[in-house]
Structure 1
Amino acid sequence: MDFREEVKTSILIGDGAMGTLLYSNGIDNCYEELNISEPERIETIHSAYLDAGANILQSNTYGANYYKLKRYGLEDEVSTINRKGISIARKAAKKKAFVFGTIGASRSIRKSDLSLEEIKRSFREQLYSQLMEQPDGLILETYYDIEELETVLQLARNETGLPIIANVSMHEIGYLQNGIHLNEAFQRLGELGADVVGVNCRLGPHHMIRSLEEVPLPKHAYIAVYPNASLPDYVDGRLVYEAVPDYFGSSALKLREQGARIIGGCCGTTPKHIKAVKQALGDLQPIKEKEIKARHIEIIEINDNDTTIGLHEKAKTERTILVELDPPKKLGIETFLAGAQVLHDAGVDSITLADNSLATPRISNIAVGTMLKNQVGTNPLIHITCRDRNLIGLQSHLMGLQTLGLEELLIVTGDPSKIGDFPGATSVYDLSSLDLISLVKQFNEGLSYSGQSLGKRSNFKIAAAFNPNVRYIHKAVQRLEKKIACGAQSFLTQPVYSLDQIEEVYEATKHLRTPVFIGIMPLTSSRNAEFIHNEIPGIKLPDDVRRAMAAAGSDPVKARTEGIAIARNLVDAVMEKFKGIYLITPFLRYEMTAELSQYIRKIDSERFAEVTAHD
């Protein structure tokens, strides 16, 4: 049998799910490891799909790469598991079906978890292992990230002349998660050498049919479709797929009408579903022409009403002061609002609002930010952590912020829950800070995470965190450059307490065009200084600073005076090198950061007057 000749003239039947079928039978661990420990079980499933009418059997190797197997302590078994997967499928096929080696995607919704170089190394190991067993072809499946699929497809095509099926997965009808239309994805994959381009997983037959209605027959490849059985239900703590095989079979006829040359099944499908597909299609031949449904292109509205200058733009040319004032831990907002008014009157450009800092619950910063905007007249900078919200919650949160006109954002990872008031609470971290920065940038292009149009573009200004309190600052700056590539427009640092460190940060970042706001937090007592020095990771106070705070003793007035004096000294150094200053209010003592803000404005005013006088 020759696959390329067969697919030219026939509709081939793919097999169905492996993982969800094992899951439905009570197995909930590494499915690929069964190639070694229970090969007979895997062979039985392959045989059932062959008997149901499948012309293509996929090896049980979807997640058999280094990073996924490492979760189970099996990273040294990559070659063995992949080779066994091919040989088991070969044995079950009995020369009656094609055997394709399956390689699944490595990236999940957190794109930053694995770099392309890491993906390449892992992919090569899995690819070479499978090629040693001489499969009839390869199937690359469940790729939400087109960048990853294009990368590995090129690698595979450079290494082998075997037939390759390249399947993307969609979040939304007709679109990949980065907004690329399915037709464009097919064209790109075909040009890179895929023999067959297709879709699998996430969506059921109905939505895949609708997606293909807008896709012409590819010029360089054929189409494969592997729908899920249905949307899953959640029953007694387990995912259950309930689509009946007859519906799946009748859907195969509609998929054929959309040009599918290979029709199989993904999550929730069983040999019964594949048998229904085989019976429905019978000896029908593939179509050679199809009518294309006009694609509905939604116009993304640009908000021309936004005339505000972002803090990042202002900090490029003139002094810009940010002051962090944590929302209250208890109900009652009066003292907080009074402090915010004092800071506003002191001339700060924005009050920044942390998002449950130190994993301690506070009044929602989106509520407080709205009050500041409406009652105080300040433009707040809202922190967003990755810790507290999953991807659904983050997207909803962003839409709410845009709706309220809260457009200045600081994207941070967020302190882990175990250090806060509820150490047993779950830290979510669906996205890393890099991923969330990219998502906000995508919002500014009018697209949601799934690639669906938002109807209009958001106007977010994106700040990110910078920790200079590290051993090797050049590595921290490399991370800044990654954040800039993702969309960061400015940076706020953790507090610094050393004049030498200010100089070091300047030298390390002066090549960047992205403004850096240097963090300064006035000390309130010797005990406060010792806590920061000894218990806050990465921050070390100079000896002279600690001695000065210790000399103030337990007198709160002297301690406050000394803390302000140290902060002023730092401010003087920052003003020589940076336009942006980020004052962090300690323990809601807003009078300290208000005094520092007034000091900064006074110095700038005096310098301006001096320059004007000379002119």
Structure 2
Amino acid sequence: MTNALSRMMETRDWILADGATGTNLFNMGLSSGDAPEMWNEEHPDRIEKLYTMAVDAGSDLFLTNSFGGNASRLKLHGAEKRARELSRISAEIGREVADRRDRPVIVAGSVGPTGEIMAPMGSLTHELAVEIFHEQADGLKEGGADVLWLETISAPEEYKAAAEAFRLADMPWCGTMSFDTAGRTMMGLTSADMADMVEKLDTPPLAYGANCGVGASDLMRTVLGFVAQGTGRPIIAKGNAGIPKYVDGHIHYDGTPELMAEYAVLARDAGATIIGGCCGTMPEHLSKMREALETRERGERPTLDQITEALGAFSSAVDGTEEDSDQQSARRGRGGRRRRG
């Protein structure tokens, strides 16, 4: 499929994505509990600023302000009938920002989880999930998004439903999951499980990977897990800027711009193609990441020890892919097990 992101990946060794949406919008005045997507209509100037800050800092790709823009999430704010409209507006603003540049910039239509539990554990059926994702995908497509960007998914069933919806919308897509429970997603998926699932989809993503989670170290360990599967599909790394801490009544991420620069280079050397930040990642982080990627030569694939030395300790001793508990102690390195191969 010929599309802007595929063309960019054919000619680039790495692509810098954007940083945080929520963190930056909170700094602009968004209140906790409010729907950021409503700002697409109420404060389009602030959303334009959000996108512009990322591009000015060096991002080649930015996500639209539509993470919670599906009908299920917007129902919490009485706006479930506006899912397509609000997603369209988020992409329209992004299209204007990207088209003003004298270099290629990818507008990625952000699609987050529904917030519901998929059947049979919950009440959300596959058919309804596909309908919800399809509606949002159509809005983002109408607004001019180059690619759809599924993110922060925990359940494989939801990932598969989104893939089907994006096929119906006839849009290229990328998709990340969040590995935040000892190397697994909240619903128990490991990096190896995800890599296997992605290759079995009828319409697989252009690139896949991990976002958010716990911290940059844990995300790097997950990236190595993807690489170990050897699929050859481009990998996405979009880690948080350090670990969240509660300081003076606010959530603060302790990752410095210098730490995120180290993370960006390690992610590239580990095998990731699309590299960005998630929660806590500000323009100053992105600028340092861009500078490091441009000026530092590619190195060998990092070891677990090199990752923890540069980025800090892992949050768990295991990465979720252990064969069984009896083998864990034999396979652990410092802060995690040694990888097969």
**TM-score bucket (shorter structure):** 0.7 to 0.9
Is the aligned partner of 1:18 residue 2:18? no
Q: What one-letter code is carried by the residue in structure 2 that aligns with 1:207?
A: D
CA distance in 1, matches of 2:85, 2:148: 18
Indicate the SS of the match to 1:138: strand
Give the corresponding residue for 2:242: 230
Give the corresponding residue for 1:87: 92
Match of 1:35 among 32, 40, 43: 40
Match of 1:198 among 209, 217, 228: 209
Alignment of 1:79-478 (within 5 A): 79-93=84-98, 94-95=100-101, 96=103, 97-107=105-115, 112=122, 114-160=124-170, 162-192=171-201, 193-216=204-227, 218-219=230-231, 221-282=233-294, 297=322, 299-300=324-325
Q: In the TM superposition, what is the alpha-carbon distance from 1:127 to its structure 2 partner?
A: 1.0
Displaced runs of 4 or more, over 4 A? 108-111, 283-287, 289-296
Q: In the TM superposition, what is the alpha-carbon distance from 1:71 to its structure 2 partner?
A: 1.3
Indicate the SS of the match to 2:261: helix
Post-superposition CA distance 1:375-412 (Å, at most 9, x none): xxxxxxxxxxxxxxxxxxxxxxxxxxxxxxxxxxxxxx
Indicate the SS of the match to 1:174: coil
Indicate the SS of the match to 2:176: strand
1:113–1:236 Cα change, 3 Å? farther
Q: In the TM superposition, what is the alpha-carbon distance from 1:76 to its structure 2 partner?
A: 2.2
Give the corresponding residue for 2:9: 7
Q: What one-letter code is carried by the residue in structure 2 that aligns with 1:244?
A: T
Post-superposition CA distance 1:281-315 (Å, at most 9, x none): 0066878x9589898725247xxxxxxxxxxxxxx
TM-score, normalised on structure 2?
Answer: 0.80
**Identity of counterpart residues, as a percentage?**
27
CA contact (8 A) 2:130 2:164 kept: no
CA distance in 2, matches of 1:12, 1:72: 35
Q: In the TM superposition, what is the alpha-carbon distance from 1:109 to its structure 2 partner?
A: 6.9
Give the corresponding residue for 1:600: none
CA contact (8 A) 2:269 2:302 kept: no
TM-score, normalised on structure 1?
Answer: 0.46
Q: In the TM superposition, what is the alpha-carbon distance from 1:51 to its structure 2 partner?
A: 0.5
1:229–1:37 Cα change, 3 Å? same
Give the corresponding residue for 1:53: 58
Give the corresponding residue for 1:72: 77
Q: What one-letter code is carried by the residue in structure 2 that aligns with 1:107?
A: G
Indicate the SS of the match to 1:267: coil
Q: In the TM superposition, what is the alpha-carbon distance from 1:174 to its structure 2 partner?
A: 3.3
Give the corresponding residue for 1:491: none
Q: In the TM superposition, what is the alpha-carbon distance from 1:128 to its structure 2 partner?
A: 1.2
Give the corresponding residue for 2:334: none
1:220–1:255 Cα change, 3 Å? closer
**Could you say which structure has the larger radius of gyration?**
1
Q: In the TM superposition, what is the alpha-carbon distance from 1:270 to its structure 2 partner?
A: 0.8
CA contact (8 A) 2:83 2:136 kept: yes
Which one is further off, 211-220 or 191-200? Answer: 211-220
Q: In the TM superposition, what is the alpha-carbon distance from 1:173 to its structure 2 partner?
A: 4.4
Q: In the TM superposition, what is the alpha-carbon distance from 1:251 to its structure 2 partner?
A: 1.1
Q: In the TM superposition, what is the alpha-carbon distance from 1:104 to its structure 2 partner?
A: 0.6
Q: In the TM superposition, what is the alpha-carbon distance from 1:52 to its structure 2 partner?
A: 0.3
Q: Unpaired runs of 5+ in structure 1?
A: 302-615
Taking only aligned residues, the RMSD between alpha carbons, in angstroms, comes to 2.6
Q: What one-letter code is carried by the residue in structure 2 that aligns with 1:261?
A: T
Give the corresponding residue for 2:338: none
Q: In the TM superposition, what is the alpha-carbon distance from 1:92 to its structure 2 partner?
A: 1.4
1:275–1:292 Cα change, 3 Å? closer
Give the corresponding residue for 1:513: none
CA distance in 1, matches of 2:178, 2:125: 20
Indicate the SS of the match to 2:144: coil
Q: In the TM superposition, what is the alpha-carbon distance from 1:68 to its structure 2 partner?
A: 1.2
Indicate the SS of the match to 1:165: strand
1:286–1:127 Cα change, 3 Å? farther
1:152–1:179 Cα change, 3 Å? same
CA distance in 1, matches of 2:167, 2:131: 15
Give the corresponding residue for 1:308: none
Q: In the TM superposition, what is the alpha-carbon distance from 1:228 to its structure 2 partner?
A: 0.9
Q: In the TM superposition, what is the alpha-carbon distance from 1:32 to its structure 2 partner?
A: 0.6
Aligned residues: 299
Indicate the SS of the match to 2:122: helix
CA contact (8 A) 2:260 2:285 kept: yes
CA contact (8 A) 1:4 1:163 kept: no
Q: What one-letter code is carried by the residue in structure 1 that aligns with 2:189?
A: I
Q: In the TM superposition, what is the alpha-carbon distance from 1:7 to its structure 2 partner?
A: 1.4
CA contact (8 A) 2:154 2:177 kept: yes
Q: In the TM superposition, what is the alpha-carbon distance from 1:260 to its structure 2 partner?
A: 0.7
Alignment of 1:489-528 (within 5 A): none
Post-superposition CA distance 1:314-371 (Å, at most 9, x none): xxxxxxxxxxxxxxxxxxxxxxxxxxxxxxxxxxxxxxxxxxxxxxxxxxxxxxxxxx
Indicate the SS of the match to 2:108: strand
CA contact (8 A) 2:209 2:223 kept: no
CA contact (8 A) 1:213 1:292 kept: no
CA distance in 2, matches of 1:128, 1:109: 23
